[in-house]
Chain A
Amino acid sequence: GAGVSQSPSNKVTEKGKDVELRCDPISGHTALYWYRQSLGQGLEFLIYFQGNSAPDKSGLPSDRFSAERTGGSVSTLTIQRTQQEDSAVYLCASSLGVGLQLETQYFGPGTRLLVL
């Protein structure tokens, strides 16, 4: 079946603009995760959804970042008033759910964001 897809694959924007990044998880996966990876760095956890609910949003870097998930499927990560330090690869992952043996994460290819 299809894996996790993300769009756009690349995004170049100007400082101060808003951007929306989209994630389509694997069908049937109830858990969805967003990460950020700066060049040559490890993964920085941003937020996690179980269904449409995000139990903990403290991983989001600032109040310019928000995320939502609708219908237990597609998720959107929005960055308002982008800054140059927001430039990174934004990775989305999904898993069957939460609980024993269910939490293997399947990652998408990422969205490469460049803020000029």
Chain B
Amino acid sequence: LAKTTQPISMDSYEGQEVNITCSHNNIATNDYITWYQQFPSQGPRFIIQGYKTKVTNEVASLFIPADRKSSTLSLPRVSLSDTAVYYCLVGEIGNFNKFYFGSGTKLNVKP
């Protein structure tokens, strides 16, 4: 099962673009990459999912290089409310018998 590595924490300021990179060197062919966001005292919330290249939705973009050994979550123009922990998750399609969220990246957005 692919293990992920993320920075423990990041600081940013309101209005800036934030890029959080996740390493997953052992990603398998059937693995998808998913990012979740967790606010204090809440359960995680799905942000975005992708397999390769670029995926964009209303809240974020996900960049995945051709070798898929890493991925970058991009948050445009962050606000104070984006302060949260962001988890990168790599999972096998059809074989979700174990899920490893890791320790996540604590993003602190400052005014």
B102 touches A59 (CB 8 A): no
Residue contact B99 to A42, C-beta cutoff 8 Å: no
- What are the residues of chain B within 8 A of A1 when measuring CB–CB? none
Indicate whether B111 reaches chain A with its CB closer than 8 angstroms: no
Chain B interface residue count, Cβ-Cβ cutoff 8 angstroms = 24
Known A48-B97, A48-B98, A98-B96; contact A42-B103, beta-carbon cutoff 8 A: yes
Q: How many A-B residue pairs have CB under 8 A?
A: 62
B94 contacts A99, C-beta separation under 8 Å: yes
Check A103 against B93 for contact (C-beta < 8 Å). yes
Which residues of chain A are within 8 angstroms of B102 by Cβ–Cβ distance?
42
Tally chain A residues at the interface, Cβ within 8 Å. Answer: 26
Quick one: which of B42, B87, B96 contacts A31, CB cutoff 8 A?
Answer: B96
The answer for the CA separation of A39 and B87 in the assembled complex, in Å, is 16
- Who on chain B is nearest to A45 by CB? B99
B103 to chain A, nearest CB (A): 4
Q: Please give the distance in Å from A75's CB to the nearest CB on chain B.
A: 15
Evaluate whether A42 and B87 lie within 8 angstroms (CB atoms) in the complex, with A98-B94, A103-B96 already known. Answer: yes
* A45-B94 contact given A104-B34, A108-B43, A110-B43, CB 8 Å threshold: no
Q: Are A43 and B96 in contact (CB under 8 A)?
A: no
**CA separation between A59 and B97, bound complex, in Å?**
9
Q: Considering residues A91, A100, A105, A106, which has the most beta carbons from chain B within 10 angstroms of its beta carbon?
A: A105
A108 to chain B, nearest CB (A): 6
CB within 8 A of A100: which of B43, B45, B93? B93
Q: Which 3 interchain pairs have the tightest Cβ spacing?
A: A107-B43, A43-B101, A42-B103
Contact residues of B with A, CB < 8 Å?
Answer: 32, 34, 36, 41-46, 49, 87, 91, 93-104
